[in-house]
Structure 1
Amino acid sequence: MTASTVTRRRHPAVLFALLVVALVAVGGVYSLVSSGGRATADTRPYTAQDVTAGDRLFKANCSTCHGQQAEGTSAGPSLVGVGAAAVDFQVGTGRMPLAGPAVQAKRNSHVAFSDEQIRQMGAYVDSLGPGPGIPDEKYASGIGGDVARGGEIYRVNCAMCHNFAGSGGALTRGKFAPPLHGIEGKHIYEAMLTGPQSMPVFDDANLDPEAKRDVIAYLHWLDKNENPGGHSLGNLGPVADGFFLWLLAVPLMIGAAVWLGRKAA
């Protein structure tokens, strides 16, 4: 073996090329492993007609705030990369279109669009950049979830804002964590997945689909749970209990004591 051959084999460019190949290989393996447990891809494929129809709906109803190409304006954020899940959550819960300027969009029982129109707008927004898809019903329904495990996950990650019983609570600067009673499982999953407004994002790397299903199962169990100890007073904690005691219970007890004292005299 000649000296020139050894020199070619030890050339720095060869080492650099090997390093690049190794990084690409590691990245590919990581992608496959990390995406294996995800369950957020929409099982309903979008067609070109869906995207075109969604584009028309978006421009007619959303572009004033979000821009003609959803690039965002001073009145609304960019929607590039938020995915169909964010559209389904915001529009499907009646939060969007926003009725007027506000610190936080509120859930509205009136939904302005049909399910098909929401799907089409989601298809258009999804076409602008990759983002979370509509969750699989297998996980979003909460059916088959572990209620006890879901309650533990909820108390660790959610109760500090949404209250231990899902009754909601106040945040800073006029914002609030909404109550979670009677919410469709799909929208709970989408909220965890997209992190609307002040809520942090719990993607599948933080809480896998099974964990999200357990949380949904727990919240649906709370909807059915009765209070054998009496009226819950909204499950708002010591504040509601204190108001009840000082405004109703204490005056009643004082009134009863005065009445009994006069009767005895």
Structure 2
Amino acid sequence: MFNRSKSKKGRRSPMATVSLIVVGLMTTGGAYALFSSTANADDSTTTVAASSQSKVNEGQKLFASNCATCHGLSAQGTSEGPSLIGVGAASVDFQVGTGRMPMAAQGPQAEEKPAQFTDEQIDALAEYVASLGPGPAVPSESLTNGSDGDAAEGAELFRINCAMCHNVAGAGGALTEGKYAPNLQSVSGKHIYEAMVTGPQNMPVFNDLNLTPEQKADIITSSST
């Protein structure tokens, strides 16, 4: 009797066995789901990084073919052109996107003309130069679309900071030594913002301590109305 009772007490219930199997499957499934999620995230990060590096490589090729003569093979600058290390993507997007670069001929300042590169090529050039050192990035559309700012505040900021060169109406004006402040009436909001943060030609740089991103957006809104 003692042995039979002991044997019965030690026997595991069929339901307990089923429960253990279910717990095991749930644990294994959870671990697999976590692994799969992590693997997918890693794959996504790797894909983005590879895409970015591919764009940098494409930009480097374009730079070597079209810009290195003046700016040096490593963008370190030469007697014909300044160093581009640290100027940032915004400077490239402005200069190349407005056709000022490459320059058609040496002169008091680079003239605006039709862009010689596609949007994709400009993005690649900007990515390459941005990879050489930190600098202003291409602004987000929310800051440059001309509809999200305060037009009245922007008009006042423009009068204080910009009108002395660009005219109260943004029509532009002559400066010294054959230089000039361009007409702003047909300039995109993105290029106006990029000009403010990079200071092309004789224009001063308006960093975020001078004018906040929101104030720059206000100026763009006032220029669009």
- TM-score interval, smaller chain: 0.7 to 0.9
How many angstroms apart in 1 are the aligned matches of 2:106 and 2:77? 16
Name the structure 1 match of 2:100.
95
How many angstroms apart in 1 are the aligned matches of 2:199 and 2:132? 19
Which of 41, 59, 79 is the matching residue for 2:84? 79
Name the structure 2 match of 1:201.
205
Percent of matched pairs sharing the same residue: 58
Which is higher, the Rg of structure 1 or of structure 2? 2
How many angstroms apart in 1 are the aligned matches of 2:144 and 2:208? 13
Q: Structure 1 residue 140: deviation in Å?
A: 1.2
Q: Structure 1 residue 83: deviation in Å?
A: 0.3
Q: Structure 1 residue 143: deviation in Å?
A: 1.4
The answer to whether residue 213 in structure 2 is matched with residue 220 in structure 1 is: no
Q: Secondary structure at the match of 2:92?
A: helix
Q: Conserved in 2, the CA contact under 8 Å of 1:55 and 1:124? A: yes
Name the structure 1 match of 2:156.
152
How many angstroms apart in 1 are the aligned matches of 2:102 and 2:196? 21
Q: Structure 1 residue 204: deviation in Å?
A: 1.1
Deviations 1:167-194 (A, max 9, x none): 1111111111011011110000000010
Q: Structure 1 residue 131: deviation in Å?
A: 0.4
Name the structure 2 match of 1:115.
119
How many angstroms apart in 2 are the aligned matches of 1:134 and 1:205? 18
How many angstroms apart in 2 are the aligned matches of 1:96 and 1:208? 28
Total equivalences in the alignment: 177
Deviations 1:54-77 (A, max 9, x none): 000001000111111001111111
Q: Structure 1 residue 115: deviation in Å?
A: 0.5
How many angstroms apart in 1 are the aligned matches of 2:95 and 2:216? 19
Deviations 1:15-56 (A, max 9, x none): xxxxxxxxxxxxxxxxxxxxxxxxxxxxx9871111110000
Q: Please report the TM-score for the alignment, with normalisation by the length of structure 2.
A: 0.77
Matched to 2:156, the amino acid is E
Name the structure 2 match of 1:180.
184
Name the structure 2 match of 1:127.
131
Q: Secondary structure at the match of 1:47?
A: helix
Task: Flag as ranges the 4+ runs of structure 1 deviating above 3 A.
Answer: none
User: Structure 1 regions of 5+ residues with no counterpart?
Assistant: 1-43, 222-265
How many angstroms apart in 2 are the aligned matches of 1:102 and 1:152? 33
Q: Please report the TM-score for the alignment, with normalisation by the length of structure 1.
A: 0.65
Q: Secondary structure at the match of 1:205?
A: coil
Deviations 1:212-235 (A, max 9, x none): 0110011111xxxxxxxxxxxxxx
How many angstroms apart in 2 are the aligned matches of 1:150 and 1:213? 8
Q: CA RMSD in A?
A: 1.2
User: Structure 2 regions of 5+ residues with no counterpart?
Assistant: 1-47
Q: Conserved in 2, the CA contact under 8 Å of 1:182 and 1:220? A: no
Q: Secondary structure at the match of 2:224?
A: helix
Name the structure 2 match of 1:105.
110
